[in-house]
């Protein structure tokens, strides 16, 4: 014989269908003969009487009261049923209403709940709020990428130490690019999986290296961004260390690439020492810093292109050769001669306008090594700094992603308007010979940058030599090949890498000088 | 340190990055990030409060009290009989304190109308002189355990609903609803308005009193509200179902105590002819409920939110009777023919006690019939309710919304969550004409201003 029990919840209205659903679920459980949850109206009490579930004390219940009537094998089963009922009452909320199409949960906490096993946060809110969101993410056990800039150095150090102590990865702030487990984060390209792992203190640099690797039919494991300030004296490369530690122990990573704009010298030394201890080949590219000597497992490279090529060739086990151009010298020379004629004797300078900051740095490095010293708003010594970034002077390289151009407007990878205007103006300057630029594809970037330039390029193509490279792959949303054709149709010479485009531009300048002599 | 096998990512900020997650079939969540409110110092205080065990415990207690309250309608009494401190020339009004000279049009209209109704003035000119001369003692309803919709005027002769919170023993009062159109609470004061008030004093009030005093148990209001939420009411801007449910109860009592069938018919006609008749009963119940958390030390849950047509005021449980005020906003709405947004008076009334008690705008998803107020579709209404869930302590255990898989209505408006998310609470409201004497011109919605929430946190200290 079972035990019958009635529980009365005074003044607890619940809808009858809602109650029946709970009762139905309970009746399927073992040891329960019958269950009824009903408001104690006269009619319902009669039903309970007929099913012999109503006990004496329930007869006095009013229609505002809820009767829970259970007939079960044991007291323990009844207690279990009551627990089930109270949790059904409490939790009749979010489970199913969570993931609805088109509904964005309004808060961090609510959004987090919709994820199964959340482990990463990508933060791109305005800088003044980014640290707070990052801290919240770390507190919730998430690895973090802070895309936002304008986070204080103090906050950066604090967050990085906190991440370290929690054994979590914190990329950024001002980390534009990362690829983790094949997932592009921020401004990043779609590149194949492979055995090369990268840690980079540069966004567009990381994009260029991964794209060069992809074009060599090699691939990557993870591309970890550190943020631009990580290798400063103050931060001391906390994220670079964490990144190296991850890649060192990652069995899929067989080659490691470390990438940075000029690091603080002691920090650079520290990483070189660290790299030497790793049981894997390490390719290092510290753009613009003094050259180090390769040896052992370490290969120093002087450009992004070289870093990508060396890594790709190591990855495939091939001998490493580094051509100046992918095309033959003959092809290059004949292209070049045709273009120089276009100038008809006027113009003698390179004018470069870049969306990718590290690409601009790479170009400046290459130009310098060809004996051309450009003025710039980017990483050059003081005497070569442009007094006004809007006015070119002799050879000029402008990083249009610098703060002075992005205050109150989108980055040039997204909005090409400002650069188009500048290119048009520059074509009117008789001193301009070559207009050099980059296009950066991938997630986050403009969906058709070449298409956004055609009008401008068609206006200037007969006046000046146009040279470009496109950082992207055919798997990117914009499609690399399609973008190349669009530029070519506008009379632009498109080289496979930014390094080659820059060398080509330098070659043109030399050619002009020689013709003049 | 290891990179997880598969990354499951929370995107905080730019939407443009989620394309990559879609293309790579990566599990992600995106949310409508809004900047938190306040400067660095206030945000630090916010984080300190958020992590304080004392605040957490106090807010949990507040949530429990809001859930456990049992507001029961037990009586109808004249204001002067039931509010002991009510003096002779006294008028109570909606919202935080306001002086005559600062009152908005409809508040002045209702005030003058009440002076005529009480016989303190013969006509509107006399009434105006009386008020301007400082002959009337004004005081907020909220200072006397009471609430009133719109202008919320309570004068000594008016009958009030008496609702007792049977869990905590406190009582709350609210005037009887006059109906729609030209009514005192919207600032109208013509003869027909005064005559109706007289009828309510002479006929409706005494008979309701007789009926309720004959009931052994009173009428449990939270139960009617819970049921009405499942019938398409949110019990602030829609009270059709609740009024019907109430009528079911009161008719039985009328039939027991009144013999005159004509009279019963008149009473029933009056109640059933006004779809908002239940609103004032509900407001008294909400007031009885929310008063149970007033003065709860360290709690950051809002205990009162009310507007007088000039200012909106907040009370926080942990700050007792202190008001945090800001200029009242102007609701956006739908208007009766002949009126437009330009005619709308700033936000007015104590009816936001509904939202504080987890219904009204917070339960918008329950009332698809009135979603036109919030942008048009039931999914808009759902969005509002879910948004409110993120600035409240938790789901109500009694008030459920079937459409949201029986989610409990968002309960316990927390100033910390409001500031943290940048989401201001959503308010449903009737709209009065800004000139005195005209009355209701529409209904609509707005959000409470952020500054009161900031002021409140600035003021609070953990004790």
Interchain CB contact of A185 with B (< 8 Å): yes
Nearest alpha carbon to residue B350 among B435, B408, B282 = B282
Distance CA A511, CA A502 (A): 14
* Structural contact between residues A1 and A57, judged by C-beta atoms closer than 8 angstroms: no
- Which residues touch A206 (CB under 8 Å, ≥6 apart)? A176, A177, A178, A188, A198, A200, A223, A225, A259
* Structural contact between residues B235 and B280, judged by C-beta atoms closer than 8 angstroms: no
Q: Which of B43, B379, B407 sits opposite A92 (nearest CB)?
A: B407
Instruction: Summarize pLDDT for A127-145 with one digit per residue, the tens.
Output: 888 999 999 999 999 999 9
Q: B-contacting residues of A 324-353, CB under 8 Å?
A: none
Select from A64, A114, A117, A477 the residue whose CB has the most chain B CBs within 10 Å, as the one to mutate to test that interface.
A64
Please state the ipTM of this predicted complex.
0.81
Contact B28 A115 (CB under 8 A): yes
Contacts of B405 in chain A (CB under 8 A): 92-97
Query: In whole numbers, what is the pLDDT of chain B averaged over residues?
Result: 94
What secondary structure, in 3-state letters, does B126-191 show?
A: HHHHHHHCCCCEEEEHHHHCEECCCCCCECCCCEEEEEEECCCCCEEEEECCCCCCCCHHHCCCCH
* Structural contact between residues A473 and A214, judged by C-beta atoms closer than 8 angstroms: yes
Contacts of A122 in chain B (CB under 8 A): 9-13, 17
Distance CA A467, CA B462 (A): 65
Q: Where are the domains of chain B?
A: 44-67+293-459, 72-287
Using the structure block, give the residue that is written with the tokens 């010594």. A381
pLDDT grade for B459, boundaries at 50, 70 and 90: very high
Average pLDDT over residues B241-247: 98
CATH dotted code for A3-92: 3.30.70
Q: What is the pLDDT of residue A102?
A: 46
- Which residues touch A100 (CB under 8 Å, ≥6 apart)? none
Q: Which of B8, B72, B402 sits opposite A117 (nearest CB)?
A: B8
- Cβ contacts below 8 Å, chain A against chain B, sum to 199
Contact B17 A222 (CB under 8 A): no
Instruction: Summarize pLDDT for B45-60 with one digit per residue, the tens.
Output: 998 999 999 999 999 9
Q: Per-residue pLDDT for B193 more than 80?
A: yes
Q: What is the pLDDT of residue A92?
A: 55
Tell me whether strands A298-300 and A349-354 are parallel, antiparallel or unpaired. unpaired
Q: What is the pLDDT of residue A1?
A: 61
Please determine whether the domains at A108-316 and A329-516 fall in the same fold group of CATH: yes
Average pLDDT over residues A423-437: 95
pLDDT grade for A96, boundaries at 50, 70 and 90: very low
Which range in B241-255, B357-371, B380-394 is most confidently predicted, on average pLDDT?
B241-255
Tell me whether strands A3-9 and A66-72 are parallel, antiparallel or unpaired. antiparallel
Looking at the domain covering B44-67+293-459, what would its CATH class be? alpha beta
The whole-angstrom distance between A448's CA and the closest CA on chain B is: 14
Is domain B72-287 annotated with CATH 3.90.1710.10? Answer: yes
Instruction: Summarize pLDDT for B388-410 with one digit per residue, the tens.
Output: 998 999 999 999 999 898 999 99
Q: What is the pLDDT of residue A91?
A: 62
pLDDT grade for A11, boundaries at 50, 70 and 90: confident
The whole-angstrom distance between B145's CA and the closest CA on chain A is: 23
Interchain CB contact of B5 with A (< 8 Å): yes
Contact B24 A14 (CB under 8 A): no
Q: Where are the domains of chain A?
A: 3-92, 108-316, 329-516
Instruction: Summarize pLDDT for B344-371 with one digit per residue, the tens.
Output: 999 999 999 999 999 999 999 999 888 8
Interchain CB contact of A101 with B (< 8 Å): no
Q: A-contacting residues of B 156-185, CB under 8 Å?
A: none
Q: What is the pLDDT of residue B443?
A: 85
Q: Which residue of B has its CA nearest to A63?
A: B223
> A329-516 architecture in CATH?
3-Layer(aba) Sandwich (3.40)
pLDDT grade for A46, boundaries at 50, 70 and 90: confident
Instruction: Summarize pLDDT for B444-457 with one digit per residue, the tens.
Output: 889 999 999 999 99
pLDDT grade for A95, boundaries at 50, 70 and 90: very low
Q: A-contacting residues of B 63-82, CB under 8 Å?
A: 70, 72
Q: What is the pLDDT of residue A34?
A: 87
Tell me phi and psi for residue A31, to 5 degrees: 90, -5
Instruction: Summarize pLDDT for B61-82 with one digit per residue, the tens.
Output: 999 999 999 999 999 999 999 9
Distance CA B96, CA B313 (A): 5
Identify the CATH assignment for A108-316 out of 3.40.50.2000, 3.40.50.720, 3.90.1300.10, 3.40.50.261: 3.40.50.261
Contacts of B32 in chain A (CB under 8 A): 104-106
Of A255-264, A430-439, A447-456, B167-176, which gets the smallest average pLDDT? A255-264
């Amino acid at each position: 014989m079972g035990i019958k029990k009635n529980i009365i919840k005074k003044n607890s209205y619940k809808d009858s269908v809602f109650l029946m659903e709970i009762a139905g679920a309970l009746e399927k459980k073992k040891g329960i003969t019958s269950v009824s949850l009903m408001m104690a109206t006269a009619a319902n009490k009669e039903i309970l009487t007929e099913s012999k579930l109503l006990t004496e004390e329930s007869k006095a219940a009013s229609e505002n009261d809820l009767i829970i009537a259970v007939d079960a094998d044991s007291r323990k089963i009844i207690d279990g049923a009551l627990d089930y009922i109270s949790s059904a009452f409490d939790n009749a909320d979010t489970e199913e209403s969570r993931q609805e199409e088109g509904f964005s949960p309004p808060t961090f906490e609510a959004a987090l709940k919709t994820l199964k096993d959340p482990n990463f946060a990508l933060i791109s809110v305005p800088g003044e709020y980014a640290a707070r969101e990052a801290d919240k993410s770390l507190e919730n056990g998430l690895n973090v990428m802070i895309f936002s800039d304008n986070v204080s150095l103090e906050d950066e150090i604090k967050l990085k130490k906190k991440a370290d102590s929690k054994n979590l990865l914190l990329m950024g702030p001002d980390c534009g690019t990362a690829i983790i487990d094949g997932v592009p984060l921020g401004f990043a390209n779609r590149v194949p999986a492979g055995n090369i792992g990268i840690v980079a203190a540069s966004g567009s640099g990381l994009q260029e290296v991964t794209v060069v690797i992809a074009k060599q039919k090699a691939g990557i494991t993870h591309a970890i961004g550190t943020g631009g300030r990580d290798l400063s004296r103050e931060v001391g490369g906390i994220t670079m260390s964490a990144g190296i530690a991850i890649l060192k122990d990652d069995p899929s990573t067989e080659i490691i690439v470390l990438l940075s704009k000029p690091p603080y010298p002691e920090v650079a030394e520290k990483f070189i020492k660290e790299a030497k201890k790793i049981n894997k080949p390490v390719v290092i590219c510290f753009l613009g810093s003094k050259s180090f000597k390769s040896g052992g497992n370490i290969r120093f490279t002087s450009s992004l292109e070289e870093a990508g090529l060396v890594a790709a060739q190591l990855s495939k086990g091939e001998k490493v050769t580094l051509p100046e151009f992918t095309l033959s010298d003959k092809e290059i020379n004949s292209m070049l001669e045709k273009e120089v004629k276009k100038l008809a004797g006027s113009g003698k300078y390179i004018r470069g306008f870049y969306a990718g900051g590290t690409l601009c740095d790479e170009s400046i490095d290459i130009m310098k090594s060809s004996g051309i010293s450009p003025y710039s708003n980017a990483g050059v010594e003081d005497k070569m700094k442009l007094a006004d970034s809007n006015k070119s002077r002799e050879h000029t390289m402008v990083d249009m992603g610098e703060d002075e151009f992005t205050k109150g407007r989108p980055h040039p990878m997204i909005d090409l308007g400002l650069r188009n205007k500048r290119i048009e103006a520059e074509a009117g300057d008789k001193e301009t010979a070559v207009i050099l630029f980059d296009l950066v594809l991938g997630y986050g970037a403009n969906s058709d940058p070449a298409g956004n330039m055609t009008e401008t390029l068609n206006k200037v193509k007969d006046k000046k030599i146009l040279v470009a490279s496109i950082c992207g792959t055919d798997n990117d949303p914009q499609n690399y090949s399609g973008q190349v054709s669009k530029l070519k149709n506008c009379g632009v010479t498109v080289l496979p890498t930014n390094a080659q485009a820059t060398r080509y531009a330098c070659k043109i300048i030399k050619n002009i000088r020689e013709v003049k002599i | 340190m290891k990179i997880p096998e598969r990354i499951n990512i929370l995107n905080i900020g730019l939407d443009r990055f989620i394309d990559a997650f879609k293309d790579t079939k990566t599990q992600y969540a995106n949310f409508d990030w809004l900047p938190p409110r306040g400067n660095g110092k206030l945000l630090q205080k916010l984080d300190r409060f958020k992590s304080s065990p004392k605040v957490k415990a106090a807010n949990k207690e507040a949530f429990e009290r809001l859930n456990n309250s049992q507001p029961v309608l037990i009586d109808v009494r004249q204001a002067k009989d039931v509010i002991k401190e009510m003096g002779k020339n006294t008028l109570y009004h909606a919202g935080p304190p306001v002086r005559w000279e600062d009152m908005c049009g409809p508040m002045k209209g209702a005030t003058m109308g009440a002076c005529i109704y009480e016989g303190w003035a013969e006509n509107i000119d006399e009434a105006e002189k009386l008020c301007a001369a400082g002959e009337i003692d004004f005081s907020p309803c909220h200072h006397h355990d009471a609430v009133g919709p719109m202008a919320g005027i309570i004068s000594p002769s008016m009958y009030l609903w008496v609702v007792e919170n049977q869990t905590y023993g406190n009582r709350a009062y609210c005037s009887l609803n006059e109906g729609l159109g030209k009514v005192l609470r919207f600032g109208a004061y013509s003869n027909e308005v005064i005559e109706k008030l007289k009828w309510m004093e002479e006929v409706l009030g005494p008979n309701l009193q007789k009926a309720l005093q004959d009931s052994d148990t009173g009428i449990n209001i939270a139960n009617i509200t819970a049921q009405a939420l499942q019938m398409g009411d949110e019990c602030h801007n829609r009270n059709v179902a609740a009024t019907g449910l109430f009528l079911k109860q009161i008719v039985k009592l009328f039939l027991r105590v009144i013999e005159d069938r004509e009279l019963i018919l008149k009473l029933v006609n009056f109640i059933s002819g006004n779809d908002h008749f239940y609103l004032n009963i509900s407001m008294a119940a909400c007031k009885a409920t929310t008063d149970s958390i007033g003065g709860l030390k360290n709690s950051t849950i809002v205990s009162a939110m009310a507007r007088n047509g000039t200012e909106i005021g907040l009370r926080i449980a942990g700050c007792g009777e202190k008001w945090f005020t800001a200029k009242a906003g102007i609701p956006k709405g739908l208007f009766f023919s002949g009126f437009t947004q330009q005619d709308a008076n700033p936000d007015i009334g104590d009816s936001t006690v509904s939202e504080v008690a987890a219904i009204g705008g917070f339960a918008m998803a329950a009332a698809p019939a009135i979603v036109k107020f919030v942008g048009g579709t039931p999914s808009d209404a759902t969005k509002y309710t879910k948004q409110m869930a993120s600035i409240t302590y938790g789901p109500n255990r009694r008030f459920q919304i079937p459409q949201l898989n029986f989610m409990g209505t968002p309960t316990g408006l927390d100033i910390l969550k409001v500031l943290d998310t940048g989401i201001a609470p959503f308010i449903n409201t009737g709209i009065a004409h800004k000139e005195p004497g005209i009355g209701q011109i529409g209904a609509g919605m707005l959000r409470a201003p952020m500054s009161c929430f900031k002021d409140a946190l600035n003021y609070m200290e953990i004790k």
